[in-house]
Each structure stands twice: as structure tokens, then as C-alpha cells.
């Protein structure tokens, strides 16, 4: 009579996974003044909301999201990068009637291959989950940022309008409502 032996194999995986996503969009800024002057007015407004100037770019980092704005073109790029360590551990058992022979080794080898596949699939699922998380975070941040940048562009446009009005003639009256964003300038030519 043969005796059944249990073969138990335990495997683990520790990997660092990385997910990144980026989106590009364009700022809407009127050409009231020459491009360089409009870029400078925009840079001033962006500095007030936490951007740092780096040559012809304005950059702000918020957690794992980096926002970069090209002043000359108004191109906005948001990029999110996340790294995460994944630790997985799996255990499988099988039976054999040979505790030290070839059959036992084959069962153990087969179990190790199954565990390796399961661990790879687990890491891949973690990668997909992290990618989805990064994409969702980026989409959420883009909505918040859009409102903030629209306000900065409006303030830069208002400053440009004031400069342009002064170039055209003598400003007789100026009324500005910050809550509604309206600006009325009366110029005498």
C-alpha cells in the first residue's frame, strides 16, 4: 500500500511598479499685447498661484502631479507618476506517492511554475490598478486646475487691457468687478 505525501511550495514576489499618465491642453489667452508681454503678465499671475518660473516655462508640483506651462505657446502639460512596491506571497500544495523521487520533484516544479504565473498575474493586476488610480487622479486634478488657470488668464487679460487702453489714450474711468470678472474702461482718444 502506497502512502501519499503532501508537497507544499511557497513563493513570494517583491517588485516596484510604476504608472504614469500625462495630458496636454491649451490656455486661452487673447493677443492684446505682443506675445512676450502677454507671457510676462501670465507669468506674474501664475507665480501668485504657486508656479515657479524655469526659463520660458512655469512649473508647479503638487504631490505626484507636475504641471508645466509653456509661456510662449500657452501649452499646458500635466504629468502624474506613481511608484509602488508590491509584495505578494502564495502557497500551493500537491500530493505525491514518492516523497523524494522524480515524481516529487516534478510535482514541486509544477507547483512552482503555477505560483510564478499567479504572482506575475497579481503584479500585473496591481499595475493595472495603479495605472487607473494615476489616470483618475490626473483627470480630477485637471478639472481643478482648469478653473484656477482660467482665473489667472482672466487677470492677465485684464492687466493687458489696462495697458492697451493706456496706450490708446487717456483713461477717464475704469470700473472692475472682481467677483464677476467684468472690466469697463473709458478711454479718451
What are the residue ranges spanned by the domains of the chain? 5-188
Which single residue is written with the C-alpha cell 495603479?
130
Q: Measured between alpha carbons, how far is 153 from 155 in angstroms, rounded to an integer? A: 5
pLDDT at 2: 64
d(CA 81, CA 120): 22
- Sequence-ordered list of residues with C-beta below 8 angstroms from that of 84, at least 6 positions apart, any chain: 16, 17, 18, 19, 126, 130
Give pLDDT, residue 132.
Answer: 94
Please state which of the ranges 86-95, 130-139, 174-183 shows the lowest mean pLDDT.
Answer: 174-183
The pTM score is 0.73
Looking at the chain, how many residues does it have? 189
Distant-in-sequence contacts of 161-170, Cβ < 8 A, 24+ apart: 161/32, 161/185, 163/32, 163/33, 163/37, 164/32, 164/33
Segment 148-164 shows an average pLDDT of 88
How far is residue 89's CA from residue 160's CA, in Å, rounded to a whole number? 61
Confidence of residue 29 (pLDDT cuts 50, 70, 90): confident
Q: How confident is the model at residue 1, as a pLDDT? A: 43
Per-residue model confidence (pLDDT) at position 52: 94
pLDDT digits (tens, 9 = 90+) for 64-98: 899 999 998 889 999 999 999 999 888 888 877 77
The three three-digit cell numbers of residue 130, written as one number = 495603479
Amino acid at each position: 500500500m502506497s502512502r501519499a505525501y503532501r508537497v507544499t511550495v511557497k513563493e513570494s514576489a517583491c517588485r516596484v511598479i510604476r504608472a504614469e499618465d500625462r495630458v496636454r491642453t491649451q490656455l486661452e489667452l487673447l493677443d492684446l499685447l505682443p506675445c512676450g508681454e502677454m507671457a510676462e503678465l501670465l507669468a506674474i499671475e501664475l507665480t501668485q498661484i504657486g508656479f515657479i518660473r524655469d526659463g520660458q516655462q512655469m512649473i508647479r508640483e503638487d504631490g505626484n502631479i507636475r504641471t508645466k506651462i509653456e509661456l510662449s505657446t500657452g501649452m499646458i502639460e500635466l504629468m502624474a507618476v506613481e511608484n509602488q512596491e508590491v509584495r505578494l506571497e502564495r502557497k500551493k500544495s500537491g500530493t505525491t506517492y514518492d516523497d523524494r523521487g522524480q515524481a516529487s520533484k516534478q510535482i514541486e516544479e509544477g507547483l512552482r511554475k503555477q505560483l510564478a504565473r499567479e504572482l506575475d498575474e497579481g503584479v500585473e493586476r496591481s499595475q493595472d490598478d495603479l495605472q487607473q488610480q494615476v489616470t483618475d487622479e490626473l483627470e480630477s486634478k485637471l478639472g481643478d486646475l482648469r478653473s484656477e488657470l482660467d482665473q489667472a488668464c482672466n487677470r492677465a487679460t485684464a492687466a493687458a487691457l489696462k495697458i492697451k487702453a493706456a496706450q490708446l489714450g487717456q483713461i477717464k474711468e475704469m470700473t472692475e468687478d472682481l467677483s464677476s470678472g467684468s472690466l469697463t474702461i473709458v478711454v479718451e482718444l
